[in-house]
Structure 1
Amino acid sequence: MNKGLLFSCLLVAVTSVQAAPISIPYQGFFQRLKQVNKGNYPLVEIAFSVPNKSKCLIKSGTITTETESFPLTITQDQRIFLPYDARLKSDRALVNLDIKGSADNCNISMQVRAKNTKQSYSQKELLELQAEMNTMLSDMQGFPMRYFSQDIEGINFEFESGSQTSVKIDGQRQVFTDKLRLSQEQLNKLSVVEFDTKPLVISPWTHG
């Protein structure tokens, strides 16, 4: 299993059928957040989300203990924002998702990504971003699974699904749909990358 599988794998596989809401122990999320908070990562973060929106639509979400309940912030693309709170872990909190669709199609994924995105990047900025992604993944190695500590192969830039985006790399313009990948070799050669709109997500590109 290579490093890429850590953030592209299914963090939680929900197997119950027609369960509404789905309840997942907060402890698993806390352990992953703890690994990240132990490090110094000004540029990157981990994001939890529910993919396959057409088959698993989140209507609402809460985090609950035996005595308290708090609403969760969930974005249109179904990213779930979870607090980092040791008290919630000790209180055995649950993450509850009220869904539309079969629970068989609902999975929670974890992704390493840039905290913020912008329309242009210098080579120095991209290499710093890539280095921090590598460091975060290495720091998380072996938890909760062991995998080979291969460096990432480059960087993904993701845009609105179905959209065409223009990019200039050292003045050379090209148009692409949905996603642009820049390999390590390309990153080492370029000077500046300029998009006509900000990427939605910037994440590591890994093998597999």
Structure 2
Amino acid sequence: MTTPALPLTRAQRRRAGLKAALRNLTGLLLLGALAYLLWTPGQWNMQLLAWVLVVLLADELGGWFGYLGLALGLIGLFGPAGNLTQWLVIFPLVGGALMALLLVKHSGGPFVLPFGAALFAATLIGVGRYGTQVDPELKLPASDSFQQSALLAMLIGVGVSFIRQVVEMILRARARHHARQETVPLLLATPEAARGTGPVGTDPESGAHP
């Protein structure tokens, strides 16, 4: 039996609004930090690690944060960081793998995450191993710095998402269990109350006496 949802109290609405505001603020701060890291000069492998990690972490705060973080990778192409040669490879390759991972991630619960992670890893490892056979100049994906930065960031981001979703599933299951426990006594008490109603002094078992 489905328990009807109760309307939110004013305090609950206030808490929900505060959580939404904090979530949006955190997402914007993450994206701002990512934009700064990609804009300022630095090592391309650290920028790659930060990009993948922040995209996946920001996605935990709302799907559009993840896609905005993905688009911020364009800064590597047009910014003054001086890593244009590397980002001409990083953005289309890692960006495409990240997009596929986000789409898989949004298609289901925590148990689809391993498939998204495997797709991401297989893409980068496959290009790193066989890319030079297609284009002899495509050597960057085969480097240890490229593979380690991208895969480590992906594993951390997917791991955080998996833990969060599993914890939320457990908490929701407990909440439903407690709701059922509170509802069943009320349902059992209702027939007793109805059977005990009647005129004062009347025996509900024998009925009214003449």
Q: The TM-score by the shorter chain falls in which range? A: under 0.3
Larger helix share, 1 or 2: 2
Say which structure, 1 or 2, has more relative contact order (CA 8 Å, 6+ apart).
Answer: 1
Greater radius of gyration (CA): 2
TM-score, normalised via structure 2 length: 0.25
